[in-house]
Structure 1
Amino acid sequence: MVHFYKTATILERNDGLVQQVYPVNIESLHALLGNIPRSTGILPEHVIAMGRHDGRDLIIKYVPPKRRNLITTESNKPKPISIVTPPLVWSGCGTVYRIYALNSTAWPNENTMLYHSPFPNVYSNGTICWGDTGNALQAANRTIDTMLDRFFTSVFASHLNNSRSRSNPGSVVKFWETITNDDAYPLGDLLPANIRLIELLEGEGYANTR
């Protein structure tokens, strides 16, 4: 195990029952690590960034506007609604996933302000309430899109349905019913989430799921 300190880099290893500690030359360590083969593999489309946080993969991707057939419940019966969803930011770290909206279709930068995604079943910090859809998969190249599909094909209940729309703060689903024929989501209806993209990139908020 390598420990990095401000004044030294230390290698710790166990030789049988004996624990030994050595100072390490940082240039030698850099040269050694530079020869280790590494690759991200094939990345999903529209990936904004990838990294590691608390020993877990962190993946953030841009989701462009798209007409989607969403399922809601009314009197405990499934009800389909077709709307064009706004541009979104979808991220996963470990088994925690977060979703936000953007008020522009432009590719975001670190200082881009994020907005509450206009969907029920999402906590105020962007994390997902999966309900009875099953355990979330570990975020990785091969699973990030799978979990996004699971989110959009789940049934959107009335849980966390409020404070997602300027026009109808009591129910974003009621707002959906007014935009079924729109070619684009009215971005002016989105509410700010008081968070910038850089905070997702730095891994903030993934330990707290609410």
Structure 2
Amino acid sequence: MKELYDITPELGQLYFPKSALIFYQTEEKTPDAYVEYFDMDHTGMPINAHPLTVREAKALTKALSITDEKVNCLQSHGIMDSHILHVAPLNGKAIWFTKSTQRKFCFTENLNLPNGKAFVPPLLWIANRQSLTLFALASNHRPTEKTMLYHAPFFNIYEDGKVCMGTVDVRIEKTASLEDFIRTWEDHFFNSYFSHLMAGHNPINGNCVSLWGNLIATGERFPIEVLKKSNTTFKDLLK
């Protein structure tokens, strides 16, 4: 006969029964209920039955509390604004759009462009706590699943829309509200220095340097016709 040996130490962390709850309820139309609490002896048998005390109820509440910080992430301060398109708190992800407006730009010296304000096209933002993806839109209308997306006409963005933040220290709290999350990403993007095109990707029909130089000098509205289609729809981002 083969020798038997105890494998309990190899099973990892063990959990032992310490207490049990039994819920009682009357059979009336408006039932009444109460909870009985049992301790467990060393053999796992229930003993010492008594009504659940306030102290024990508090201990149970603490044990059942969800402490994952992701649950509190991206909670709105109130009614969500219509520019918010999709929120996935458990993934820390949000999608929103902004209408055409003036933004402040800062450029590195190698571009030979003056810093200043210029109009940008409507934009579609996709972000989590670590990364940002950006596309342009052809109009200020709220996008639908069928809306065609365009390449964002900026420097520092890859062809797939991923934004290179360079040395920018992106700091977003794990429990940031939806409003703070959006504001922080928009500030990070437009307060960073635009420096170069990524991997040879020209995001517009024309010269990107000349475009921004002209928009800053004239204050004209962004010319939507220079945008390039990305072959991506809003629905593609939700897969």
Q: How does 1:72-111 map to 2 (within 5 A)?
A: 72-75=107-110, 79-111=114-146
Is 175-184 or 186-195 further displaced after alignment? 175-184
Deviation at 1:122, TM superposition (A): 0.9
Return the TM-score normalized by structure 2: 0.60
Q: Retained in 2: the 8 A contact 1:136–1:147?
A: no
Q: Retained in 1: the 8 A contact 2:87–2:93?
A: yes
Among 43, 57, 72, the alignment partner of 2:92 is 57
Which residue of structure 2 aligns with residue 185 of structure 1? 222
Which residue of structure 1 aligns with residue 238 of structure 2? 201
Number of residue pairs the alignment of both structures matches: 166
In structure 2, C-alpha distance between the alignment counterparts of 1:94 and 1:199, rounded to whole Å: 21
In structure 1, C-alpha distance between the alignment counterparts of 2:222 and 2:111, rounded to whole Å: 27
Instruction: Identify if the C-alpha distance between structure 1 residues 103 and 74 changes in structure 2 by more than 3 Å, giving closer, same or farther.
Output: same
Instruction: Identify if the C-alpha distance between structure 1 residues 147 and 45 changes in structure 2 by more than 3 Å, giving closer, same or farther.
Output: farther
Larger radius of gyration: 2
Helix, strand or coil: the match of 1:121?
coil
Helix, strand or coil: the match of 1:82?
strand
> Quick check: 1:167 aligned with 2:201?
no
Structure with a larger share of its residues in helix: 2
Structure with a larger share of its residues in strand: 1
Is 66-75 or 144-153 further displaced after alignment? 66-75
Instruction: Identify if the C-alpha distance between structure 1 residues 45 and 71 changes in structure 2 by more than 3 Å, giving closer, same or farther.
Output: farther
Structure 1 unaligned blocks of 5 or more: 1-13, 19-37, 203-210
Determine what percentage of the aligned residue pairs are the same residue: 25
Q: Which one scores higher on RCO, CA 8 angstroms, separation ≥ 6?
A: 1
In structure 1, C-alpha distance between the alignment counterparts of 2:185 and 2:155, rounded to whole Å: 16
In structure 1, C-alpha distance between the alignment counterparts of 2:76 and 2:145, rounded to whole Å: 24
Return the TM-score normalized by structure 1: 0.68
Deviation at 1:134, TM superposition (A): 1.2
In structure 2, C-alpha distance between the alignment counterparts of 1:100 and 1:175, rounded to whole Å: 17
In structure 2, C-alpha distance between the alignment counterparts of 1:100 and 1:173, rounded to whole Å: 19
Instruction: Identify if the C-alpha distance between structure 1 residues 98 and 70 changes in structure 2 by more than 3 Å, giving closer, same or farther.
Output: same
Deviation at 1:140, TM superposition (A): 5.4
Which residue of structure 2 aligns with residue 16 of structure 1? 15
Helix, strand or coil: the match of 1:100?
strand
